[in-house]
A and B are shown apart, each in its own frame.
Chain A
Amino acid sequence: MFENLTNKLGNVFKGLTKRGALSESDVENALKEVRTALLEADVALSVVREFIDKVKVRAVGEEVLRSVTPGQQVIKIVNDVLIEVLGSSESELLIDHAPPAVILLVGLQGSGKTTTAGKLAFHLKSKKRKKVMLASLDIYRPAAREQLRILGEQAEVLVLPEIDGESPEKITKRAMAASKVQAIDVLILDTAGRTTLDTAMMSEAKEVFKLSKPSETLLVADSMTGQDAVQTAKAFSELIKISGVVLTRSDGDARGGAALSMRSVTGCPIKFVGVSEKLDGLEPFYPDRAAGRILDMGDVVSLVEKAAETIAEEDAAQMMKRMSQGSFDMNDMLKQIGQLKKMGGLGGIMSMLPGIGKLQKQMAANNFNDKAISKQEAIIYSMTKKERVNVSLLNASRRKRIASGSGTAVSDVNRLVKQQQDMARMMKKMGKMGGLGGLKNMMSSLEGASPNPGLGDGQNSVMDANKMAELQKMMGGNMPNLGNMANRFGGMGLPGLGGKPSKKRR
């Protein structure tokens, strides 16, 4: 969600880091551009002002200007302030007191409350092992309750049956009573969308709030909201105590300004972000990681976690064993493609890696996307079992057959084979070095390299170059150009990327 802002800020900072010494006016000018970038990203004006002031105070200190890397210093300050604005730590839902704990969802029309209710129910049920009930208080929008019922069925949680003609207050009472009887841990109340100017609707919200005494009152807000985000957040938090924010549609190309504004205006943490239309598309929000993403420092921690979540322990161990023996065949490759896909595809992974903004464009230009990966998958599927294990069987006529079977060209098949061989060779090398193998291990080694870019030591904030060099060495020195992420990926055992024709490769 932050890509655009990232690019804009990246350009500003490039100007800064290029220079050896910085004058106050340099910083001043850069900050003016930062201001515009933030405003264009729909960060609320008041928040922008506060942000710029904070950065300015810290950045014009003599220490910064006299330091060896003033540009880096300024970026670090911006990063620090970003994290402050976004809230400094993740905060969990407070739902562990005497059941039923009530979560109340409020927000404008069309902000995504009902979908969020369904996602939240699914999250609490599957990840927190809670017994959840959903209840809709939206008696206004046609089929709103129907929608929640269907979502409840999909999430396999209880939904309070509808009774026509009941007021939201009455439904609330009934839901509370029903949750007690059925020993529900968490009751999620989905309210009707309302504008903050509608006094009748706002007092209804207040009434429901009083009746249900929610442990969490979450404001559901659209990431694409403009300057009005602040008005809405303020109005809601003045009337009922908001305890957190859920930012929806963060998989759009909005510049994430609302994320920056919300926290600062409501003083409440952003607890979740909605990332897809599917039931599992709800992710906890980590301020420090988001700041990293905004400044294009990547979010390696999330990536590692995602890897850990998707890849089964045994799979990783087994693959490691095979790799260390130097046997990395098409079946292994297929498995890796599958893992890559599970982790959200290339796009999902790329967005979490540092310095990737530019590369993403390059890859797009080279038609390097998830489709290319699916293509590789198709090629492998068109091979016989024997061929998959023993690539040397692949003579010209077999390759022709595979190409026509997978709807690709022979050159595609050739490229894949070459890539697989390159990877096998590298795996063997790594195997000899011991221990290092399998996507999971590689990821965690990357994590060790940079657990939290930009925060560790003030001196070298973007990415620890030494560690990266070390990592490169570990990889067998087979990656002449570290900047070329495609090769780096290839070397790390992720399929698909090494196939990009690279002149720089030795």
Chain B
Amino acid sequence: MALNWFKKLKTGLSKSASKVEGAIASITGKKTIDQETLYDIEDQLILADLGVEVSGRIAKKIKDQKFELNKNKGIEKTQIAKTLAEEIEQILLPREQNLYEKVNSKPHVLLLAGVNGSGKTTTAAKIAEKFRLEKKSVVLAASDTFRAAAVEQLKTWGKRVGARVVSGEEGGDSAAVAFRAFELAKKEDIDIVIIDTAGRLQNKKDLMEELTKTCRVVSKLDHDAPHQKVVVLDGTVGQNAHSQLKSFDESIGLTGMIITKLDGSAKGGVVVSLAEKFEIPIHAVGVGEGLDDLQIFEASSFSRALAGLD
């Protein structure tokens, strides 16, 4: 299982890895790392969406590193890749946290938020599937009452993963839907409530307030609910991820994040700079459209994959 997911992640990250590898290849065989090469590494890290600041710092660390020279008195490629992976892992490690470990109340309420099209509904289904495999009962709250056919989308998933779906009418009150789902879970002894909220851009103040309201309303049934408030970030997103994380955290107080769509050519490197700036745990990564394609986030595997190591 562990190997399997690493392979998937690796394929997913292959594009970004090859970028970083490219950077590494450019210094391989040289005796020292000159300024030009350093800029190259930095540029390649920027291309992986690590951001200007973090890229600069990591590149500098690699420069300061004393590398052992090989037979031909050149620097070995894998050495650099290893250093790179270690640097990235150091940043990511404190943020590693299993999404499912935090489930300790019943019913446990998990709220998913994020901008439009980041993959909340698909992620909700994937999480529900995981709980189903653990023999836990799940109710899905279709709190996206705005987008056309959003409810139908979740209902279809609900059927596939054997979860009940609570929905309201289109344009209705999304907080009410979440509340009713929680109520139902309490009454019928259901283990997990997953609230799938509507996508919203983080600079839309009213919509962000709606999200705060949903949390507030849900907390009326249980002071600690929603127990988990997770933001879903699109892996193709660039530096705007910072703004997204900040705004969602400010409005509802995030307990974690999930990065989706890492199976494309997206680099997901923004995770590294996010991990540095925010003390928000990273729970999982989405690496495909299949129900089992949501993988627990592991800092070491992610870093190694990003640096192009096997």
Contact = CB atoms under 8 A, between A and B. Distances in A.
Given A45-B43, A45-B47, A225 B237 contact: yes
Interface residues of A, number: 47
Contacts of A140: 289
Contact of B51 (A40, A142, A251, A255): A40
A412 B310 CA distance: 68
Contacts of B237: 222, 224-226
B261 A109 contact: yes
Contacts of A251: 201, 203-204
B189 to A, nearest CB: 28
Contacts of A235: 265
Interface string A254-292: 110110000000000000000001000000000000000
Interface stretch (B24-32, B133-141, B145-153, B216-224): B145-153
A225 B234 CA distance: 9
A253 B46 contact: no
A142 B115 contact: no
A450 interface: no
Contacts of B80: none
B268 to A, nearest CB: 9
A257 B148 contact: no
A36 B46 CA distance: 11
A197 B265 contact: yes
Size class of the contact patch on chain B: 35 or more
A20 interface: no
A429 interface: no
A344 interface: no
A224 B247 CA distance: 15
A154 B148 contact: yes
Given A42-B238, A226-B270, A141 B117 contact: no
B116 interface: yes
Contacts of A249: 115-117, 201
Contacts of B203: 251-253
Interface string B102-118: 00000000000001111
A233 to B, nearest CB: 11
Contact of A252 (B43, B48, B201): B201
B122 to A, nearest CB: 8
Interface in B17-38: none
B264 A228 contact: yes
Nearest to A42: B238
B128 interface: no
A108 B148 contact: no
Interface stretch (A143-151, A175-183, A310-318): A143-151
B263 to A, nearest CB: 6
B240 A253 contact: yes
Given A110-B118, A147-B147, A41 B264 contact: no
A325 interface: no
A339 interface: no
B201 A197 contact: no
A382 interface: no
B240 A224 contact: yes
Given A42-B238, A227-B47, A252-B203, A110 B261 contact: yes
Query: Most chain-A Cβ atoms within 10 A of its Cβ — which of B43, B203, B265?
Result: B265
Nearest to B43: A45
A88 interface: no
A227 B267 contact: yes
A100 interface: no
A140 B244 CA distance: 28
Contacts of B148: 118, 146-147, 150-151, 154
A357 to B, nearest CB: 15
A144 B116 CA distance: 15
Nearest to A194: B264
Nearest to B237: A224
B238 A225 contact: yes
Contacts of A232: 236, 264-265
B47 A195 contact: no
Given A45-B47, A222-B117, A231 B234 contact: no
Query: Most chain-A Cβ atoms within 10 A of its Cβ — which of B48, B51, B238?
Result: B238
B115 A224 contact: yes
Nearest to B264: A195
Given A112-B116, A252-B203, A224 B149 contact: no
A110 B203 CA distance: 19
B240 A108 contact: no
Contacts of A222: 117, 234, 236-237
A147 B146 CA distance: 11
Interface in A163-199: 195-198
A487 interface: no
A197 B263 contact: yes
B281 interface: no
Contacts of B47: 45, 227
Contact of B239 (A41, A110, A141, A143): A41
B207 to A, nearest CB: 9
Interface in A124-166: 140-144, 146-147, 149-151, 154
Nearest to B203: A253
Contacts of B52: 36, 39-40
B14 to A, nearest CB: 8
Contacts of B264: 108, 195-198, 228, 232
Given A39-B46, A147-B148, A228-B236, 19 more contacts: A42-B239, A110-B117, A110-B234, A111-B117, A141-B153, A142-B156, A142-B157, A144-B149, A197-B264, A222-B234, A222-B236, A222-B237, A227-B49, A228-B267, A232-B265, A251-B201, A251-B204, A253-B202, A254-B243
10 contacts: A39-B46, A42-B240, A45-B43, A142-B153, A143-B155, A144-B149, A226-B49, A226-B240, A232-B264, A252-B201
Interface of A: 36, 39-42, 45, 108-112, 115, 118, 140-144, 146-147, 149-151, 154, 195-198, 222, 224-229, 231-232, 235, 249, 251-255, 257-258, 277
